[in-house]
Amino acid sequence: MGTPVDQLVDLLDLEQIELNIFRGRSPEEALQRTFGGQVAGQALVAAGRTVDEDRPVHSLHAYFLRPGVPGVPIVYQVDRLRDGRSFTTRRVLAIQGGRSIFALTADFHKPEPGGIEHQFPMPDVPAPEDLPSALDEVGSRLGELPPFISRRQPFDIRYVDRLKWSRDELDGVEARSGVWLKTNGPLPDDPLIHVCALTYASDMTLLDAVRAPVEPLWGERNFDMASLDHAMWFHRPFRADDWLLYRQESPIAHSARGLARGEIYDRKGQLVVSVMQEGLFRPLAGR
């Protein structure tokens, strides 16, 4: 079986079955739908396999079309939209059981010098070494970890703020959240693996910011949640096996949809990735 990190790397190692066509595993899980971060990460692997190594990905824009079924392989069809002098564009369609479940467009850019350099500063938060891991914090409180926790095992995730466990603690809580994260072991040096591993992880906690003012992030949920779309911009190289700070906030939730955005910084304070996502939040019956 290997470690959870080994399993993540194996999950991102797609089988090429034809020119521009790849197949990925979908793990058996006791959950109703495939994890969106898995499909996004695999789709980006498929796109990256058709691009020269000197052109790293600089952005992706994706839509979750239908829920995937755990345990059923997913086929990724790559459309080579553009191979320009500086930019390369790929469109990827994820197909499961003959139906499209996910669509992604990714753009790759050959690095070049620029005349403008600025960024928002990294927030001042506790260092990851001074914070408990989410698995330890949640396990000590709940005793039994929820079934979806298997998706998080490849990563060490640490919340920068104390977790809330009851509605009584939510008074004045803003629609914000933040975590330190890194893989629970070293990754291969291939930059595409690091980008795709972080794409996988970026879908795990971003929508926490939408829920933070209305319910505890762990424990019994009052909403059925689903990712609707996902966008990422990759500004600088990074390693997903080094600590990264993922700050998240939600500017609006309305009409059963919540918008969340995030900035990801490395330990040096460099902004390496920006993320945006909209999620669907439907109240569960009887709650």
Does the annotation mark 133 as catalytic? no
Does the annotation mark 227 as catalytic? yes
Residue 238 tokens, joined: 């990074």
Dihedral, 156, 205, 267, 243 alpha carbons, nearest 10? 20
Residue 140 phi, psi dihedral angles, 5° rounding: -70, -25
Q: Which position among 26, 227, 248, 250 bears the catalytic label?
A: 227
Q: Which position among 107, 156, 203, 266 bears the catalytic label?
A: 203
Q: Which position among 42, 248, 250, 277 bears the catalytic label?
A: 277
Burial zone of 84 (CB within 10 Å; 0-12 exposed, 13-18 middle, 19+ buried): exposed
Sheet holding 257-266, edge to edge: 15-18, 21-24, 74-83, 87-96, 99-109, 57-64, 223-234, 271-283, 257-266, 244-254, 176-183, 155-159
- CA torsion sign for 41, 43, 46, 49 is negative
Does the annotation mark 203 as catalytic? yes
Residue 26 tokens, joined: 């979908």
Query: Do 111 and 56 meet the contact criterion of CB atoms below 8 Å apart?
Result: yes
Q: CA-CA distance, 70 to 2, in Å (whole number)? A: 20
Q: The tokens 């506790």 sit on which residue? A: 126
- Catalytic residues, by residue number, are 203, 227, 277
